[in-house]
Structure 1
Amino acid sequence: MGQKLVGILLNAAMHGGVPRLKTGQESLANYEEAAAAYGLTPCFLKLSDIDTQSGFSSVYMKTNSQGYRRHIIPTPEVIHNRAIYDQRSSGVERLLRQGIHVYNTCNRYGKDQIHGLLEQNRELQAVLPVTSAGISGLKEMMGSYTDLILKPCRGSVGNGVMRLTRSGGERWIWSYSLTGSKRSIRTPVNPGALPRALRARLSSVPYLVQERIPLAEINGRPFDLRVTVQRGWGGAWQVTGMFAKLAAPGGFVSNIARGGEALKASSALEKAFSGEEAARIRMSVLSLSLSIARELEQSLPGLADIGLDIGVTKHGHLFFIECNGRDQRYGFRKAGLSGVWKDSYRQPMGYARYLHEAAIRINSY
């Protein structure tokens, strides 16, 4: 075909929507524009359409007159993974063994795994919330803290996150949302006899129990910062941008999918802090985010495109909240940062071009 191809690996459901331009929050137009800027042609594929024996794959590619159509092509040498696969995915492993560059090889890591990796770095220990796990960990933490966040290790977009708050004496309040609902339910809890439903949740899947960070607020609504950190042309980590996630009124999670609101980070920080302090915090967040990415890459092969949630307390202290291996970039668009939204697609395509050029240099020796 003559083009330099970059594969965009999608989950089956999203991949099926490509010819109808129904890919949820993934922008096909942004991929096309970003890839073209680096002399690349994007092709969209799913794992089951990659034949590692023949070296060919069935992909969707855009034609000028007919939109996206199926093509059978040699499997792209460079693939950006935007699908959810386990670290031990046999399909991805087969591609890697064949010398295919799959970056963001895995993009679903357990919160406990990420916390454990960062905890090994002494300098980063200061930005990690005190953390325990399971029912025994919950009881221990309830003896030391008055406000706790409970997170499923494998949860995403705020699903399954709960809060336990001491409201006076031995009385606690358990706050949570029903599946598919953005409304928070509050239930009194006796720490000596935890509700069966709470125990069932903690027993069904691994949970982290963390001290709740007293986040800075805007009109009584807490917010944190989503920082997109990516490798681009040249291969080095860089911060593409950040935006603030403001919790819904009365809510305790800031996820946009749970009713949170996306704001420009500078605007949110300047509403919560003085101008000078807001600038200092922003620069500190940039530095911390790069340090986290560089630490994680030591243990997570293929890491190239992540979204970090960074909390800021009312006193301006920073805390790491979590790492998102498949960053949902649409928050930039919702925050009115359309240029940064497009940049969040452009950087990974720059990295794809960098991998192409690196392969050429290696093969030329």
Structure 2
Amino acid sequence: MGHKLVGILLNADMHRGVPRLKTGQESLSNYEEGAAAYGLVPCFLKLADIDTDSGFSAAYIKGSHGYKSVVVPTPTVIHNRAIYSQNSPGMQRLLRHHPLVYNTCNRYGKDEIHELLEQHEGLREILPATTGVSGLKQMMNRYPDLILKPCRGSIGNGVMRLVRKGPQRWSLNYLSPSMRRWISTPVYQGALPKALRARLASVPYLVQERIPLAEIGGRPFDLRVTVQRGWGGDWQVTGLFAKLAPPGGFVSNIARGGEALSSSFALEKAFSRAIAAHIRMAVETLSLVIARCLEQDLPGLADIGLDIGITKDGRIFFIECNGRDQRYGFHKAGLTEIWKESYRRPMGYARFLLEKNSLIYNSY
């Protein structure tokens, strides 16, 4: 296999850190290793440096003295790891000239994903009851425990919990602005605080029945499942790990104090070994079904992270889909080989697209 370029599209801030090896949780060395396995050389791009008229781009490529910016023919295949809206003019322009951009959009509304999955009758039973803010009163009448979260957002930002404490009495729980402690404040159903109403009006929120998650030592956990397309183009489960909420917390995001654990370890702490193995297999099967359903409506989908909840009695629920999966959880859970594979597999998909495009081109 001759070495070919594969583009890795980054946001400007992360792209700026490439020559200094300061790219946050993105591992440049894993991209290099994963791409090399498929005869590819990764070049790191930002949207502003792609000249669609000339067909050339400025990109960072690793040389003997580190990463240097060089001008190269814009790669035929580009893996999008930047966050752009579906209607971004720059992304639309790129797609017109370079259609082989995968994970084209990687920020979808939680309400949008829920509605897409709800269209599939076989998946409705694994979806928590969900509504917009307009249905908050009805949800408070139906369920004693609710999660309120922004429709668009990540790493647990802005997530709140409403817990019924008695007739018309509730407790609102949320992370302090400093993100150092959890705050609990009383709320009365007939008169929500002005600050809460203002917050819910400022950005679109989702109201969801809280799933009574399985726990370890009183701390709830859920599973992050990385589902990717690789060589051959088929969806595969690359791996999964558990996200354990911090003591006293209800949000399991690692960036909010959650702890990453091996999924086998976490499940076997909460269930018998046989039941844990059954749950793990069922979660992997469900995750593949979800990915295949979503791809029908989301063009270019190729690399996602699914949050899956398991109740204390072993029921499985879909929580949300992450279009830009943060793979570092595998590293934090001590699953180094799976962490590397989560970079390698998308590079296999890039090679598959290159080969497929070459066959189509040569057939004319």
The TM-score bracket by the shorter chain reads: over 0.9
- Give the alignment of 1:140-219 within 5 angstroms: 140-219=138-217
Report the Cα distance in structure 2 between the residues aligned to 1:328 and 1:354, rounded to whole angstroms: 23
Report the Cα distance in structure 1 between the residues aligned to 2:162 and 2:269, rounded to whole angstroms: 28
Per the alignment, residue 106 of structure 2 pairs with: 107
**Residue 140 of structure 1: how far off its partner (Å):** 1.1
Per the alignment, residue 276 of structure 2 pairs with: 278
- 1:77 partner letter: T
**Residue 93 of structure 1: how far off its partner (Å):** 1.6
Aligned residue among 265, 268, 271 for 1:267: 265
Cα RMSD over matched residues? 0.9
**Residue 180 of structure 1: how far off its partner (Å):** 4.3
- 1:330-360 Cα shifts (integer Å, max 9, x gaps): 0000000000000000000000000000011
**Residue 280 of structure 1: how far off its partner (Å):** 0.6
Per the alignment, residue 131 of structure 2 pairs with: 132
The answer (yes or no) to whether the contact 1:108–1:325 under 8 Å persists in 2 is yes
Report the Cα distance in structure 2 between the residues aligned to 1:324 and 1:178, rounded to whole angstroms: 24
Report the Cα distance in structure 2 between the residues aligned to 1:230 and 1:273, rounded to whole angstroms: 28
The answer (yes or no) to whether the contact 1:159–1:179 under 8 Å persists in 2 is no
**TM-score, with normalisation over the residues of structure 2?**
0.98
SS at the partner of 1:289?
A: helix
**Residue 290 of structure 1: how far off its partner (Å):** 0.3
The answer (yes or no) to whether the contact 2:168–2:190 under 8 Å persists in 1 is no
The answer (yes or no) to whether the contact 1:47–1:91 under 8 Å persists in 2 is yes
SS at the partner of 2:142?
A: coil
Report the Cα distance in structure 2 between the residues aligned to 1:172 and 1:110, rounded to whole angstroms: 27
- 1:299-335 Cα shifts (integer Å, max 9, x gaps): 0000000000000000100000000000000000000
**Residue 23 of structure 1: how far off its partner (Å):** 0.3
Moved more, 220-229 or 182-191: 182-191
- 1:83 partner letter: A
Per the alignment, residue 7 of structure 1 pairs with: 7
Report the Cα distance in structure 1 between the residues aligned to 2:212 and 2:243, rounded to whole angstroms: 15
Per the alignment, residue 93 of structure 2 pairs with: 94
Per the alignment, residue 116 of structure 2 pairs with: 117
Per the alignment, residue 323 of structure 1 pairs with: 321
Report the Cα distance in structure 1 between the residues aligned to 2:210 and 2:227, rounded to whole angstroms: 24
Report the Cα distance in structure 2 between the residues aligned to 1:244 and 1:179, rounded to whole angstroms: 26
SS at the partner of 1:53?
A: coil
In the alignment, structure 2 segments of 5+ residues that lack a partner are none
- 1:90-136 Cα shifts (integer Å, max 9, x gaps): 212222211441000000000000000000000000000001111x3
Any runs of at least 4 consecutive aligned residues in structure 1 with deviations exceeding 6 A, and if so which?
A: none
- Give the alignment of 1:65-76 within 5 angstroms: 66-76=65-75
The answer (yes or no) to whether the contact 1:79–1:100 under 8 Å persists in 2 is no
Report the Cα distance in structure 2 between the residues aligned to 1:254 and 1:284, rounded to whole angstroms: 21
The answer (yes or no) to whether the contact 2:109–2:152 under 8 Å persists in 1 is yes
Report the Cα distance in structure 2 between the residues aligned to 1:290 and 1:283, rounded to whole angstroms: 11
- 1:153-203 Cα shifts (integer Å, max 9, x gaps): 001000000000001232100001133414110000011100011101110
- Give the alignment of 1:243-254 within 5 angstroms: 243-254=241-252
Report the Cα distance in structure 2 between the residues aligned to 1:309 and 1:340, rounded to whole angstroms: 17
Aligned residue among 306, 312, 315 for 1:308: 306
- 1:31-55 Cα shifts (integer Å, max 9, x gaps): 0000000000000010000011111
- Give the alignment of 1:329-344 within 5 angstroms: 329-344=327-342
Moved more, 181-190 or 284-293: 181-190
Report the Cα distance in structure 1 between the residues aligned to 2:318 and 2:340, rounded to whole angstroms: 25
**Residue 228 of structure 1: how far off its partner (Å):** 0.1
Report the Cα distance in structure 2 between the residues aligned to 1:216 and 1:155, rounded to whole angstroms: 24
**TM-score, with normalisation over the residues of structure 1?**
0.98
- 2:82 partner letter: A
Per the alignment, residue 346 of structure 1 pairs with: 344
Report the Cα distance in structure 1 between the residues aligned to 2:180 and 2:207, rounded to whole angstroms: 21
Moved more, 329-338 or 171-180: 171-180
Per the alignment, residue 16 of structure 2 pairs with: 16
**Residue 56 in structure 1 maps to residue 56 in structure 2:** yes
Report the Cα distance in structure 2 between the residues aligned to 1:300 and 1:138, rounded to whole angstroms: 29
